[in-house]
Amino acid sequence: MLQAIETVAIDTIGRGLVEITDVVRRFVAAHCHATGLLTLWCRHTSASLLVQENADPDVRADLETFFSRLAPEAPGRYLHQEEGPDDMPAHIRAALTQSQLSIPVERGQPVLGTWQGIYLWEHRNVPHRRELVLHLIACGRDAPSPR
């Protein structure tokens, strides 16, 4: 059994989804040519991870619109306001989404659907540098495919 772990920094430009599929594919390809399980961990409480459609940008825009209505920036609405009006809504968004993903790996590639991409979702308005931990557990070699 093989294991690899790496911390990667992702720069965001403020609120929105940043596709990290290529970062993940490169990490897996560098460490695995077999079957395994990849775990991604976001080390922040105001950002999250998700697998989402990567073909139509309207999906990402609609997600932003929905979550803006669900957790609006509203002065006086939240007790926690020390870091600005976008902070508590960002914590709510992160609590309702995911800080960790598990993705199967087959033949050295993350197993994703045709229109799926892996995203870091920045919930704060201003740019941040976010740290993600990628951890891979893999078998040394795959068995040949049955024919």
Where in the chain does DSSP place strands (E)? Answer: 2-11, 16-19, 36-42, 47-53, 100-106, 109-110, 116-122, 129-138
Query: For residue 32, what pLDDT is reported?
Result: 85
Query: For residue 78, what pLDDT is reported?
Result: 95
Domain ranges of the chain: 2-138
> pLDDT band at 147, cuts 50/70/90?
very low
Tens of pLDDT, residues 8-49: 999 999 999 999 999 999 999 999 889 999 999 999 999 999
Q: Is the confidence at residue 142, as pLDDT, over 70?
A: no
Just give the CATH number of 2-138: 2.60.120.460
Q: What is the mean pLDDT of the chain?
A: 94
Structure tokens at 108: 């050295």
User: How long a stretch of residues is the chain?
Assistant: 147
> pLDDT band at 1, cuts 50/70/90?
confident
